[in-house]
Amino acid sequence: MTQQSLSYRDAGVDIDAGDALVDRIKPFAKKTLRDGVLGGIGGFGALFEVPKKYREPVLVSGTDGVGTKLKLAFELNRHDTVGIDLVAMSVNDILVQGAEPLFFLDYFACGKLDVDTAASVVQGIAKGCELSGCALIGGETAEMPGMYPAGEYDLAGFAVGVVEKSKIIDGSTILPGDVVIGIPSSGAHSNGYSLVRKIIERSQPDLDAPFDEVDGKSRTLADAIMAPTHLYVKPILALMQSIAIKGMAHITGGGLTENVPRVLPPGAKAVLQKSAWQRPKLFDWLQREGGVAEEEMHRVFNCGIGMVLIVAQEHRRHALELLNAAGEKAVEIGTIEWRDGDEAQTIVV
């Protein structure tokens, strides 16, 4: 008995759909091109030439995903902004060492490829790259039947940047008396979403109900929860041209109390005044509906501050002026002090 000939499509992988996706995303990627890109999307490897303006270039790399925020994207059928989240989580991380993001690659994995959904995700990735000035020069789409539930996918991203060796920001010059500046977040960004989802499960809110206003526009609770991670690259790179930034911390998983210490010298601590900034309504809602302790809030969420900068006292005013002129609404949120013994390196009072 002759067996029927099998194809890759019979096994659940649609090569034509993959080709269609590549064709769909090429225009998005083209918008992100910058000096240094050699070649385009579709090759086996992505080529990039280190800018010649650097005398002693040091490459800085970062990788991340979007975490369980994706589960909410699936449930709400919102796929257009998680790509921005993906880019932001990596480029904001390499930025804190003074690096200019150069290029980004993504990995999109699913059980069955839905071209429209994947294209929406990648369009968000391209938007994030465009906003941060880095090129989307490659990626991988993996269709793996049986690996993921229907309608679900996973994302990972990889960013590479460059910094002049003499200008690496590592926090080593931070001293008591320095000023801590906070730049607002756009929401919970991409961290703490296992807890966010647990709170939603417990409280069963109407996610489509009006919740708050941003820049005069009404938002639903779903809008607030799914707001994409803010990109800090361009205003901070511009600020670095004017003043010396001693240290930076991207406030991701671990919140304020566990991320700020990563850039502090062992003998220093940051004392943050929570009254210095207005905590967005989303965090008040999460705390109330989840009965979350204040200390836990600061260990899990950014609580309204997505990026922390540490500068010398004499640069405080200029830094705030430049950041606010760029639309960042930066505020002074604390100071650096000597640390006493084994006390915590970041205290929120």
Q: Is 107 helix (H, G, I), strand (E, B) or coil?
A: strand
Over range 12-37, report the average pLDDT. Answer: 79
Q: Is 346 helix (H, G, I), strand (E, B) or coil?
A: strand
% of the chain with per-residue pLDDT over 90? 82
pLDDT digits (tens, 9 = 90+) for 143-158: 999 999 999 999 999 9
State the burial class of residue 337 (Cβ atoms within 10 Å of its Cβ: 0-12, 13-18, 19+): middle
Q: What H or E segment, with its residue span, contains residue 157?
A: strand 153-164
Domains along the chain with CATH numbers: 15-167 (3.30.1330.10), 179-348 (3.90.650.10)
Amino acid (1-letter code) at residue 165 = K
In the predicted model, is pLDDT for residue 297 greater than 90? yes
Question: In whole angstroms, what separates CA 194 from the centre of its chain?
Answer: 17
* Alpha helices (runs of H) in 114-254, residue ranges in sequence order: 115-132, 193-203, 221-226, 233-240
Q: What is the pLDDT of residue 11?
A: 67
Alpha-carbon torsion angle 312, 314, 319, 320, nearest 10: 110
Q: What is d(CA 111, CA 316) in angstroms, rounded to the nearest whole number?
A: 51
Confidence of residue 36 (pLDDT cuts 50, 70, 90): confident
Token match 């385009």: residue?
40
Q: What is the pLDDT of residue 2?
A: 60
Q: What is the pLDDT of residue 8?
A: 65
Q: 176, 218, 133, 166: which is closest to 334 by C-alpha?
A: 176
In the predicted model, is pLDDT for residue 190 greater than 90? yes
Over range 72-81, report the average pLDDT. Answer: 96
Q: 196, 187, 283: which is closest to 229 by C-alpha?
A: 187
Contact 248, 309 (CB under 8 A): yes
In the predicted model, is pLDDT for residue 163 greater than 90? yes
Q: 69, 271, 349: which is closest to 186 by C-alpha?
A: 69
